[in-house]
């Protein structure tokens, strides 16, 4: 069923503190949320944000293999919103098997959709209130005519998200998503990854979506992967449907194509200002990439795109032309499966971390993490 635990912050979280969610070592969790049914996988995705605008953070939790609303949509997935409150006290428990326990419930579109697979929270329509973005990477597109094309949904935050709200993203539902984005073709898995960040520098969050099995320009690169950027602001406020295939306008503002077949470009997404100009740059993982000159099968790759090269609407760019690439060291290690940033050497400059979960050299599949020290200077220099 899955469970989610909340541990309140504060001075009681001292060094050496031990807390056991089973309650065997007191104290345990301060708040516990129980999944709605066996195999629901509550907590398969998780985010926090003030989506109802009351200045208190809310919990947005995915149960990607839930079969709600009546057990008749096998693994359709369900998304739950639990409003935070200043009145919360330690010992609170909510069982989502009781429909009244969730403040907002959103049901997935159909069988085996895995709705709620990814969640991102941020203001994409520019009204100052965080919105909910979530995905169903195995959903079947418009009229269910694109099996496993994937879909991404935007639920606008605001005062209309009141306690007791129930929404259903299935086609034809009266209370559906505010925006739906359809994957371009069957088995693209749109929404395998999601990211909200500002790559244009206009102060609005942009939506970045990965489709790791998309097939590249003219569909000539099987499973190369693609990444789409939708600029935030007015287009989200006015749109109810967008189609990566271009059949419903507006199309993505930017498209990035995986360089080679089976690269799985878009399997990981991360963004941070690497070049020091105050605007986020994009890093995309391609764990199926074969490294330099395709000499190391599935060694994996991570591509860096500086903001200035992906910030214009109408841009289409090939991953074979990034600003720089990190290659995995050995066959099969799948570098680029996960990406992170941090100043790990304490010099005041962000560094890039790229995981290779199947790496490890003589230690089979022990895993490796590559750290690339900053600063990162764009071609031609400057910030």
| 357 inside domain | yes
| 84 inside domain | no
Paired with 227 in beta bridges are 210, 256
Predicted structure pTM score = 0.93
Which pLDDT does position 179 carry in this prediction?
Answer: 94
pLDDT at 26 over 70: no
| 200 inside domain | yes
| 226 inside domain | yes
| 30 inside domain | no
Predicted confidence (pLDDT) per residue in 224-249, tens digit: 999 999 999 877 876 688 899 876 66
Number of domain units in the chain: 1
| 205 inside domain | yes
Residue, of 87 and 47, whose pLDDT is higher: 47
User: How many CA atoms, within 13 angstroms, populate the side-chain half-sphere of residue 292?
Assistant: 6
| 264 inside domain | yes
Residue 382 burial (CB < 10 Å; 0-12/13-18/19+)?
Answer: exposed
Predicted confidence (pLDDT) per residue in 292-350, tens digit: 999 999 999 999 999 888 888 888 888 878 888 999 999 999 999 999 999 999 999 99
**DSSP codes, 288-334:** T---GGG-STT-BEEEEE-GGGT-STTEEEETTS-SEEEE-SSTT--
Which pLDDT does position 25 carry in this prediction?
Answer: 57
Distance, in Å, from the CA atom of 76 to the CA atom of 176, rounded to the nearest integer, reads 15
Q: Decide if 265 contacts 284 (C-beta within 8 A).
A: yes
| 166 inside domain | no
The parent domain of residue 200 ranges over 183-382
Retrieve residue 259's tokens.
């360089």
Sign of the dihedral through C-alpha 61, 64, 68, 71? negative
332: domain CATH number? 2.130.10.130
């Amino acid at each position: 069923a899955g469970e989610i635990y909340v541990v309140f912050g504060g001075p009681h979280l001292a060094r050496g503190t031990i807390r056991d969610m089973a309650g065997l070592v007191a104290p345990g969790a301060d708040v516990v949320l129980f999944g709605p049914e066996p195999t629901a996988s509550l907590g398969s995705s998780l985010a926090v944000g003030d989506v109802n605008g009351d200045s208190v953070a809310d919990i947005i939790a995915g149960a990607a293999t839930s079969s709600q609303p009546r057990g008749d949509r096998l693994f359709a997935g369900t998304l739950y919103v639990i409003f935070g409150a200043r009145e919360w006290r330690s010992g609170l428990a909510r069982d989502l098997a009781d429909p009244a326990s969730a403040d907002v419930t959103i049901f997935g579109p159909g069988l085996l959709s895995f709705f709620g697979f990814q969640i991102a929270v941020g203001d994409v329509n520019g009204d100052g209130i965080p919105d909910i973005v979530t995905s169903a990477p195995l959903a079947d597109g418009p009229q269910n005519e694109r099996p496993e094309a994937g879909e991404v949904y935007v639920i606008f935050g605001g005062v209309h998200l009141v306690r007791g709200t129930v929404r259903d993203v299935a086609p034809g539902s009266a209370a559906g998503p505010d925006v739906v984005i359809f994957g371009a073709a069957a088995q693209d898995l749109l929404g395998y990854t999601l990211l909200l960040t500002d790559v244009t520098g206009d102060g609005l969050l942009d939506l970045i979506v990965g489709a790791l099995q998309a097939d590249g320009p003219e569909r000539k690169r099987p499973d190369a992967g693609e990444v789409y950027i939708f600029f935030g602001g007015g287009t989200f406020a006015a749109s109810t449907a967008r189609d990566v295939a271009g059949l419903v306008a507006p199309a993505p503002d930017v498209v990035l194509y995986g360089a080679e077949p089976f690269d799985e470009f878009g399997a990981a997404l991360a963004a941070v200002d690497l070049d020091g100009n105050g605007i986020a740059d994009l890093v995309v993982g391609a764990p199926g990439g074969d490294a330099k000159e395709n000499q190391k099968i599935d060694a994996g790759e991570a591509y860096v795109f500086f903001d200035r090269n992906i910030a214009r609407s109408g841009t289409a760019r090939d991953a074979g032309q990034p600003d720089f690439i990190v290659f995995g060291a050995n066959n099969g290690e799948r570098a680029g499966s996960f990406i992170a940033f941090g100043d790990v050497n304490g010099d005041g400059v962000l560094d890039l971390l790229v995981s290779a979960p199947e790496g490890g050299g003589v230690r089979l599949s022990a895993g490796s993490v590559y750290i690339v020290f900053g600063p990162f200077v764009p071609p031609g220099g400057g910030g």
